[in-house]
């Protein structure tokens, strides 16, 4: 299902009335594909330097060598696995992430949750009602993050 930021003409007959739905004009509506919302949410989560993609798994086991760091499969430079369900102007996000050890998981997930809600609302106009986060890995053998110049 695609997100519809707006559809149809304004409900009010008053020409000076504010438009109730973002993107609605007398010319039509804006439709945002689900995969766009998914990519926005994944990129928003990846903005945190302590978050990355979880290890590739087969039958519940991390696949050896399938990844970036020491063959463990965890890659903090990749986008986390993300899915989004859009219902009208609301989005429900589910993501699977890895967290850099020894960062507190609760703190990191709350930061990611806030950032995803803010970025999706800012860039798509959709309200994110729920961000479900599964932390499937703790990344321990890490190359230090690059210095910002």
Per-residue pLDDT 10s for the chain (149 aa) are 555 554 444 445 554 444 445 556 677 777 889 999 999 999 999 999 999 887 766 666 665 555 444 434 456 678 999 999 999 889 999 999 999 889 999 999 999 999 999 999 999 999 999 999 999 888 875 455 566 77
Task: Give the C-alpha separation, 16 to 129, whole Å.
Answer: 31
Q: How far is CA 44 from the centre of its chain?
A: 5
Residue reference for tokens 């798994």:
57
Structural domains in the chain, sorted by start: 3-10+34-139 (3.30.70.1350)
| Inter-residue contact 126 to 90 (CB < 8 Å) | yes
* Model confidence, pTM: 0.69
């Amino acid at each position: 299902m695609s997100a519809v930021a707006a559809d149809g003409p304004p409900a009010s007959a008053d020409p000076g009335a504010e438009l109730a739905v973002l993107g609605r004009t007398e010319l039509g509506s804006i439709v945002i594909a689900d995969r766009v919302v998914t990519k926005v949410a994944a990129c928003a989560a990846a903005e945190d330097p302590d978050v990355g993609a979880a290890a590739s798994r087969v039958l519940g086991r991390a696949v050896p060598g399938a990844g970036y760091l020491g063959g463990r499969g965890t890659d903090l430079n990749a986008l986390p696995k993300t899915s989004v369900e859009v219902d009208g102007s609301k989005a429900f996000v589910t993501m699977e992430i890895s967290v850099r050890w020894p960062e507190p998981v609760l703190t990191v997930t709350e930061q990611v949750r806030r950032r995803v809600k803010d970025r999706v609302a800012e860039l798509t106009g959709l309200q994110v009602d729920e961000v479900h986060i599964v932390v499937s890995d703790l990344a321990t053998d890490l190359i230090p993050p690059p210095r910002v110049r």
